[in-house]
Structure 1
């Protein structure tokens, strides 16, 4: 049986240097448990609040 293990806001493509989060295409990275665990990107935009409060997929400042 296919069950969702986790679902997190995630970008479709990693940002370019200096690109703002608001310019990115967002969706959900869904982790399923069915046989071998697998991930699927669902192109359904999370709310701005869900994007701001996400735990993963962070843009880290570059060391300059």
Structure 2
């Protein structure tokens, strides 16, 4: 049986240097448990609040 282990806001493609995260295409990175654990990207935009409060997929500032 397919079971969702976790679901987290994630970008479809990594940002370009200096690109604002509001310009990115967002969706959900879903981790399923079915036989071999696997991930799937679901193109359904999270709310802005869900994006702001995400745990992973952070943009790290470039060293200057």
Compute the TM-score of the two structures, normalised by the length of structure 1. 0.99
5 Å matches for 1:1-64?
1-64=1-64
Deviations 1:14-42 (A, max 9, x none): 00000000000000000000000000000
Aligned equivalents of 2:15, 2:60: Cα separation in 1: 11
Give CA-to-partner distance per residue, 1:5-63, whole Å, 9 cap, x none.
00000000000000000000000000000000000000000000000000000000011
Moved over 2 A (4+): none
Gaps of 5+ in 2: none
Q: CA RMSD in A?
A: 0.3
Q: TM-score, normalised by structure 2?
A: 0.99
Aligned length: 64
State the distance in 2 between where 1:26 and 1:47 align.
9
